[in-house]
Chains A and B, each alone.
Chain A
Amino acid sequence: MQADLSDERLMLAYCAGDTDAFTTLYRRYRGSLYRYLAQQCGDPAVAEELYQEVWIKVVKARADYQPLARFSTWVFRIARHRLIDHYRKHSSPALAQLAPNTDDQDEVDDLIACLPAPGHETPHALHERQHAAQRINLALAALPPTQREVFLLAEEGGLTLEEIAVATDSGRETTKSRLRYALTKLRHSLQDLL
């Protein structure tokens, strides 16, 4: 029965004391939220830690939750802020890219140098992942953080351009431009797999 409910209704049900609603909601976003964080920070261990913190934040913020926007927009916005906090704490160069009002710098070669080390380069990850997955991750890691972020919010979160713009504190046209560049570069990198 709860599987038919919207994300927002499930969250409200959880706020009212229904733990099963939270479990259903959690399963819906389990993979997408984790992959968003993992692809963004490039370290599975860090991603797992951030992922847990994001959900704890959701739990704590339940009393103030208002279904003014889609739940996905809300939860991915929390995840993005947590990611920025992480970058800030560790002085990551990616922070400059994710911070609001940054210009689009679409020169991939210039940005690769400041990207976080991709998690798939660890021996453990290399052993487990397939070759295609490696290629995809590499291509994603090669994207500028802002473009990668927009692509992941669209693919993993299913957010529209407007929702991504809200979640990233940027304009709709900027978001659209970033997504277009991201798709073009990924297609170029993964041409042989398509």
Chain B
Amino acid sequence: MTERPEDSPSDPQLSRLYREHATEQPSRATDERILAAARAALAESPAHPHRDTWWLRWRTPLALATTLLLTITLALLQERQPGGLPPAPNLQQETPSARHEAPSRGVREQAGSTAAPEPARPATRSPQPSEAQAKLAKPSGSTGERDRPLQSDLVAEPGLAATPSRKSLPAAAPAAPAVLDSAPSPAAAVSDSQAARRLDSAPAAERAAASALAKTENGRSASVWLDEIRALRRDGKTLEAERQLQEFRRANPDYPLPDEFRQ
């Protein structure tokens, strides 16, 4: 009982009279029922407050940890996926060597009718496409990873360097899915027949890559260049046309030449 403030109305005589005669009490039975209920309540659920306390104690740290983890994960993902296209000079620096070191099997197969640029290489380089395919055929967690090879992979692996990214080399887009779609499941990777199929699909990819690379040569596409050579021939400038054709071959050794230029 607290002391009443001075401005609180009071009547000590009345209070004493009231307390002298205010003797009503609840029954003993009611007392027993209430005390029994209080004991029973403790006996029934002693663990509830503890469980609530545990959850309340860890709720905030868990929420903070989850938020932090998500933030870090998103930041790392953003870091590994630069938003823009890879810089063009890098691509141009890498592509000649890639083209030089990994000649297309398709072009080599066509070498029966045209002069093969480097006939000694196929024996030593032939395993490369299969290695490249094996890399593509590695079971990855998601198709997104398969669709987006890292730029560092392109640089480090010449065979893969010829495999264009869909973003940077749109001309290769129709052919690239054939390569990627041919990448089998882990179980199929051990099958010989499917391995052979992958080897067959490699030249198509390389041709597509070569044509895509040729498109950027000298700022004009290979087809435009060939049209210009045709025009020179039509105009009777055969020497100039031959010179242009040789330049074209040097610049695009893997580009499948039309029949008219194979003579």
Is B14 in contact with chain A by the CB < 8 A criterion?
A: yes
> Which of A14-22, A81-89, A108-116 contacts the other chain?
A14-22
* Interface residue ranges of B19-41 to A (CB < 8 Å): 19-27, 30-31, 33-35, 37-39, 41
Residue B5 CB within 8 A of the other chain: yes
CA distance A55 to B26 in the complex (A): 12
Q: Is A35 an interface residue (CB 8 A)?
A: yes
Main SS of the interface on chain B? helix
Contact pick for A194, options B9, B13, B27, CB 8 Å: B13
Output the least CB separation between B2 and chain A (Å). 5
A39-73 interface code vs B (CB 8 A; 1 in, 0 out): 00000100010011001100110110000001000
Among A55, A132, A154, A159, max chain B CB count under 10 A is at: A55
Min C-beta distance of A60 to chain B, whole Å: 7
Q: How far is the CA of A35 from the CA of B18 in the complex (A)?
A: 11
Within 8 Å by CB of B41, from A60, A163, A190, A194, lies A60
Interface status of A133 (Cβ within 8 A of chain B): yes
Interface residue B259 (Cβ < 8 Å from any Cβ of A):
no
Using CB atoms, name the residue of chain A closest to B40: A59
Looking at chain A's contact residues, the main secondary structure is helix
Is A19 within 8 A of B42, CB to CB? Answer: yes
Known contacts A14-B38, A160-B2, A194-B13; is A44 also within 8 Å of B49 by CB? no
User: Please, how many angstroms separate the alpha-carbon atoms of A44 and B30 in the complex?
Assistant: 12
Task: List residues of chain A with CB under 8 Å of any chain B CB.
Answer: 14-15, 17, 19, 22-23, 26, 30-31, 34-35, 38, 44, 48, 51-52, 55-56, 59-60, 62-63, 70, 130, 132-133, 136, 154-156, 158-161, 163, 176, 179-180, 183, 186-187, 190, 193-194
Task: Kindly state the separation between the CA atoms of A26 and B33 in the bound complex, as whole angstroms.
Answer: 12
Q: Could you tell me which B residues sit within 8 Å of A by CB distance?
A: 1-2, 4-5, 7-11, 13-15, 17-27, 30-31, 33-35, 37-39, 41-42, 46, 48-49, 52
Q: Which residues of A contact B26 (CB under 8 A)?
A: 30, 34, 48, 51-52
Minimum-distance CB pairs A-B, first 10: A158-B1, A133-B21, A180-B9, A55-B34, A34-B26, A183-B11, A22-B38, A59-B41, A179-B9, A194-B13
Excluding A136-B22, A160-B2, 7 further A-B contacts by CB distance (< 8 Å) are A17-B42, A23-B38, A51-B30, A59-B41, A133-B23, A159-B2, A161-B8
> With A17-B42, A48-B27, A59-B37 as given contacts, are A186 and B14 in contact (CB-CB < 8 Å)?
yes
CB nearest neighbor in A for B53: A63
| Residue of chain A at shortest CB distance from B8 | A161
A190 touching B39, Cβ below 8 Å: no
